[in-house]
Amino acid sequence: MPRAKIYGFIALLVSTALAGLFFYHSFYGPIAGGIFSSLLADNAYYAVAVPLGFLVLIILGTGFWIGWTILTIKVAPPMPEIVEKKDYAKPKAFLLCLVTLALLALFAYGVYLKSYWALALPAAVFTIVVLGMVFWVGLAIITTRATLPADKK
Amino acid sequence: MKICLLSYRGNPYCGGQGVYLMYVARELVKMGHEVHAIVGPPYPFEMEGVTLHRISNHNYFNITKNYIKPHKPFATLQPLNFYEFVASKLGIFPEIETFSFRAFLKLKELVKEHRFDIIHDNQCLGYGFLLIKLLGIPFVSTLHHPLTVDRSTWFEYPSDFSLRMKRVLYYPLIMQKIVTNRMDHIITVSHDAKREIHEAFGTPLNKQSVVYNGLDSSIFHPIPGVKKIKNSVIFVGNVEDRKKGVSYILRAISLTRNRVHLNIVDGGAPNRRFVPHWIDKFGINDRITFMGKVTNEKLVELYNRSEIALSPSLYEGFGFPAAEAMACELPVIASTAGALPEVVGKHMETAMVVPPRDPQAIADAIDFLVENPAKREEIGKAARKRVLAAFTWENAAKEMVKVYEEVIRAYR
């Protein structure tokens, strides 16, 4: 079997298994055990925390990577004649790295404590961004002329 | 051979990708190959013998208003379009990535009817290409230079933190690295670009072949009887592309002993942000003319009216403007950066070669050529001879076919 197909099968199996685990622990588990008693049970909590954690990691990782790149990139200095302002990009990049690391640590600590807010805040940010974009598109559709301009003859 | 070319922008008047596609396709057809081209907007005009397959994009990155099409109001909410929209709003340049997925979907349809021997991409390298690889067709890509060069030359210029953040997000370096190293073979346009790709992405040198670009000498040629304008210098290129070293050119103009006039042909760059400011700063307002967007005929005329061409870039994977000027018998002042020495040849024989980032050296070279008309003419004539001998699209296509054959053989 070609290697690509093997990877394809692995991807199918892993994603199906993970989806099954997620739905079981997020929905079936809490409902079967009484939703109020086990809402914060380990499995139910981590079923949401792990995928959300990946998302947080990607977003904060991107922020850190941007800061790190600005901080460490080695380039020739600009021609002195065109430099007008003092360059504060590096201190700001350092701050960005610190902030992203601090947020990541805070998230990890929150997850360790099984804090509701550790999940709710990043989920809220993600939801607001996606819904905000859909809202933006919706607004653009509403405010766009619905028909093509009449042919002037 | 049945060849499928991919180009995320197809129009030859809107960028280098379209020029490359047009000439490569034309020469391959001349050699008797069956050529298809999957192209994104702006689309190329019809080419004889080439079957075009157009795929759309919404270009949300550049179109910030009126992007909803009245006849397809919900198109933006379709998954790929929505991704393109969100990515654009977050400052990521999604055009090449979405093109790669759309090209995959188009190819999936096409392979039901056409049995392509090879697919050849032109510097797109989006994640969708990993899916195209699953179609089981040899797949090569032309990489003119790695985007790491664009990013680092951009960072050389003073800018604020938010602009730098945007630039880090803008260049899809990780994607380009991942996809480049998974292509069956990489075609690049100079030995310097080959080395640069190896350094930036770790792509093995034996997985890359150098095929020099060509130049259409039927378009770019000396026009008999056209009178040169005294002390006129020409620069062709996007002034906002930091690789072109425009700040050094402007500084050099302010340093010359002879009063020269610089004509800038930048295709009517819509976002001239810094250059007008630098022109003011160096006090050379009356010595610069922006020529805007010009036709090829007008460009050739401008080359022919000028005495000197400037191309002191900080990096070039090849350097079309230098080669074009040379084809018009114009002495070029080029830098030693990137592939320019490969293209322009020897100092004082076929060009004047100066170190990059050295305005005084550029100014000295301008003064030397202004004061030595005989040398100007000698270099110009030798330059054209060099270009005609080394850079033709016919040679490029022949070399490309050799690469195709090797890749196909290795694939089987």
Task: Supply the CATH number for residue B363's domain.
Answer: 3.40.50.2000
The pLDDT score that the predictor gives to residue B335 is 97
A84 → closest Cβ in B85, B158, B248: B158
Q: How many CB atoms lie within 10 A of CB A19?
A: 10
d(CA B90, CA B182): 28
CA-nearest residue to A133 within chain B is: B86
Kindly report, residue by residue over B258-275, the tens digit of the pLDDT: 999 999 998 755 556 788
- Using a CB-CB cut-off of 8 Å, the residues of chain A touching B66 are 144
Q: With the C-alpha atoms ordered A50, A54, A56, A61, is the resulting torsion angle positive or negative?
A: positive
pLDDT band at B312 (very low <50, low <70, confident <90, very high): very high
Same-domain status, A23 and A74: no
Residues of chain A with C-beta less than 8 angstroms from the C-beta of B160: 85, 88-89
CA atoms within 13 A on the CB side of B386: 24
Between the alpha carbon of residue A20 and those of residues A8, A26, A47, A49, the distances in Å are 18, 10, 10, 15
Q: What is the mean pLDDT of residues B112-119?
A: 95
Chain B CB contacts of A144 under 8 Å are 66, 68, 70, 73
Spell out the residues 6+ positions from residue B259 whose beta carbon is closer than 8 angstroms to its own.
Answer: B231, B287
Residue A152 covered by a domain: no
Same domain flag for B128 and B113: yes
Q: What is the dihedral of CA B398, B400, B403, B404, to 10 degrees?
A: -100
Number of domains chain B is built from: 2
pLDDT score at A153: 46
Say whether both B352 and B406 belong to one domain: no
Same domain, A83 and A126: yes
Average pLDDT, chain B: 92
Mutate: best of B67, B68, B80, B253, partner A, most A CBs <10 A: B68
The pTM (predicted TM-score) of the whole model is: 0.86
B377 falls within a domain? yes
**Residues B353, B372 within the same domain:** yes
Instruction: Inform me whether the pLDDT recorded for A149 exceeds 60.
Output: no
Instruction: Please check whether residues A51 and A3 belong to one and the same domain.
Output: no
Average of per-residue pLDDT across B102-112:
95
> For A77-81, B328-332, B396-400, which range has the lowest pLDDT when averaged over its residues?
A77-81
Report CB contact under 8 Å: B156, A73. Answer: no
User: What is the span of the domain harbouring residue A3?
Assistant: 1-39
Question: Hey, of B130, B161, B167, which one would you mutate to test binding to chain A, going by the most A CBs within 10 A of its CB?
Answer: B161
CB B332 within 8 A of CB B354: no
Asked if A2 and A77 sit in the same domain, the reply is no
Query: Kind of pairing, strands B288-290 and B50-54?
Result: unpaired
Same domain, yes or no: B166 and B53: yes
Interchain pair B86, A146: CB under 8 A: no
In three-state form (DSSP H/G/I as H, E/B as E, the rest C), the secondary structure along B267-292 is CCCCCCCCHHHHHHHHCCHHHEEECC
Share of chain B above pLDDT 90, in %: 71
**B343 and B231 Cβ atoms separated by less than 8 Å:** no
Give yes or no for residue A52 having a pLDDT over 90: yes
Nearest CB to A70: which of B86, B156, B164? B164
Within a domain: residue A1?
yes
CA distance A16 to chain B (A): 20
pLDDT for position B16 = 74
A54 & A13 share domain = no
Answer yes or no: do B113 and B194 share one domain: yes
For B209-212, the CB contacts below 8 A with 24+ separation are: B209/B185, B209/B399, B209/B403, B211/B142, B211/B187, B211/B396, B211/B399, B211/B400, B211/B403, B212/B318, B212/B390, B212/B391, B212/B395, B212/B396, B212/B399
Residues A22 and A49 in one domain: no
In a domain, B227, yes or no: no
What average pLDDT score do residues B75-96 get?
87
Searching chain A, which residue's CA lies closest to the CA of residue B156?
A78
Q: Tokens representing B87? A: 């990515």
Does residue A49 sit in the same domain as residue A31?
A: no
Q: Say yes or no: B249 and B204 in one domain.
A: no
Mean per-residue pLDDT, B77-89: 88
How far is CA B313 from its chain centroid? 13
- Which pLDDT band holds residue B13 (cuts at 50, 70, 90)? low
Residue at B62 is within a domain: yes
Q: Give yes or no: residues A13 and A53 share one domain.
A: no
Cα–Cα distance for residue pair B53/B34, rounded to 1 Å = 14
CB contact under 8 A, A89 and B161: yes
Q: What is the mean pLDDT of residues B378-406?
A: 95
**A/B interface, count of CB pairs below 8 Å:** 88
> What is the pLDDT at residue A145?
64
DSSP B123: S
Q: What is the pLDDT of residue A23?
A: 75
Handedness of CA B239, B216, B324, B288 (dihedral sign): negative
pLDDT number for residue B255: 96
Query: Are residues B192 and B249 both part of a single domain?
Result: no
CB of B63 within 8 Å of any CB in chain A? no
Q: What CA–CA distances, in Å, run from B241 to A29, B312, B316? A: 57, 13, 11
Instruction: Look up the domain containing B35 and give its range.
Output: 2-214+392-411
User: What is the total residue count of chain B?
Assistant: 412
- For residue A148, tell me if it sits in a domain: no
| B156 in any annotated domain | yes
Helix (H) / strand (E) element for B36: namely strand B34-39
Give residue B113's pLDDT.
Answer: 93
Which stretches of B309-372 are DSSP H helices?
A: 320-327, 340-344, 359-371
What tens digit of pLDDT does each residue of B161-177 get? 998 998 899 889 999 99
**Residue B315 with chain A: CB contacts under 8 Å:** none
Asked whether residue A108 falls in the same domain as residue A79, the answer is: yes
Task: State the Cα–Cα distance between residues A105 and A56, nearest whole angstrom.
Answer: 11
Residue A150 maps to a domain: no
For chain A, the C-alpha Rg in angstroms (whole number) is 24
Residues of chain A found within 8 Å of residue B134, distances taken between Cβ atoms: 4
Nearest residue, CB atoms, B158 vs list A83, A129, A144: A83
CB contact under 8 A, B160 and A89: yes
Over residues B213-217, the mean pLDDT reads 92
Asked if residue B126 is part of any domain, the answer here is yes
pLDDT tens sequence across A91-145: 999 999 999 999 999 999 999 998 888 998 999 998 898 898 888 888 888 877 6
Whether residue B146 is found in the same domain as residue B269: no
Judgement on whether residues B184 and B291 belong to the same structural domain of the protein: no
What is the number of structural domains in chain A?
Answer: 2
Residue A137 domain-assigned?
yes
- Among B76, B159, B359, select the one facing A137 at the smallest CB separation: B76
B378 plus B396 within the same structural domain: no
Residue B54, both tokens = 């157009």
Residue B225 inside a domain? The answer is no
Residue B79, chain A, CB below 8 Å: the answer is: no
Contact assignment for B248 to A144 by CB distance below 8 Å: no
Closest CA to A114 of A53, A55, A67, A28: A53
H helix intervals, B33-94: 79-89
List the strands of the sheet with B118-122, edge to edge.
Answer: B50-54, B34-39, B2-7, B118-122, B139-143, B185-188, B208-210
Look at the alpha carbons of B219, B224, B229, B230 in this order and tell me if their dihedral is positive or negative.
Answer: positive
Encoded amino acid at A24, one letter: Y
What are the tokens at B138?
A: 């040899």
Residue B166 near chain A (CB below 8 Å): no
Q: Give contacts of B 81-120 with A, CB under 8 A.
A: 82, 85-86, 89
**Which pLDDT score, from 0 to 100, does residue A31 have?**
63
Cis peptide upstream of residue B356 (ω within 30 degrees of 0): no
| Amino acid identity for residue A7 in this structure | Y
What pLDDT does residue B91 have? 85
Q: Do A82 and B152 touch (CB under 8 A)?
A: no
> Any CB–CB contact under 8 A between B169 and chain A?
yes
Closest chain B C-alpha to A77 CA, distance in angstroms: 6
**One domain, residues A68 and A130:** yes
Q: Whole-angstrom Cα distance, residue B122 to residue B130?
A: 15
CB within 8 Å: A148 and B153: no
Q: Are residues B66 and B205 in the same domain?
A: yes
Do B154 and B17 share a structural domain? yes
**Is B105 a domain residue?**
yes
pLDDT digit string (tens) for A12-38? 788 888 878 777 776 676 666 555 454
